[in-house]
Amino acid sequence: MHTATQAPNVTVVRLSGHLNAANAEQVRQQLTSAVAARTTPVVLVDMEQTESLDSAGLMALVSALKLAQNINIQFGLCAVSPAIRIIFELTQLDRVFKMFESPAAVEAVA
C-alpha cells in the first residue's frame, strides 16, 4: 500500500490504491511516524498511485499536517491526480496543503 524512502532532506511516503475508512488509520499512523521521526525537515506524500480518497483518508492527511506544523516539519503532497485534487479544492484544503508536481520538484526547494 505505501512505502517510505528518504532523500537527503526529504522523506517521501508513497501511497497507492484507495485511501479510505478501511485503511485511513494505518496511513495516519505511518504518516505520523514519518513526521515524528524528524529524520528530515520535509515529509512529502507521493499520491501518484492513489486511486481514490474519502473523508477518512482526508482526515489522516490533515492529522499528519497538523503534527508537522506543531513540530516545524514541512509537509506536502505531490503527484495529486486531477480527480483527487478536486476534493482538496472543494474542501478548500488546497490552500492549506503544499502541493508539488513530483518528488523532484520538492527536493529542488528543500
Residue 106 in any domain: the answer is: no
- The predicted-structure confidence for 54-82, as pLDDT tens digits, reads as follows 999 999 999 999 999 999 999 999 999 99
Q: pTM higher than 0.75, yes or no?
A: yes
Residue 17 in any domain: the answer is: yes
Residue 71 sits in a domain of what CATH number? 3.30.750.24
Which residues does 49 contact at the CB level (< 8 Å), separation at least 6?
Answer: 14, 15, 16, 17
Residue 108 in any domain: the answer is: no
- Length of the chain equals 110
Q: Which of 37, 106, 85, 93 is nearest to 65 (CA)?
A: 93
DSSP β-bridge partners for residue 17: 50
Residue 107 in any domain: the answer is: no
Is pLDDT of 109 > 60?
no
CB count within 10 Å of CB 80 equals 22
Percentage of the chain modeled with pLDDT above 70: 89
Cell of 35: 513526521
| Domain range enclosing 82 | 2-101
Domain count along the chain: 1
Residue 61 in any domain: the answer is: yes
- The predicted-structure confidence for 32-51, as pLDDT tens digits, reads as follows 999 999 989 999 999 999 99
Q: Tell me the pLDDT band of 1, cut-offs 50, 70 and 90.
A: very low
Handedness of CA 45, 3, 63, 89 (dihedral sign): positive
Q: What is the CA radius of gyration of the chain?
A: 12
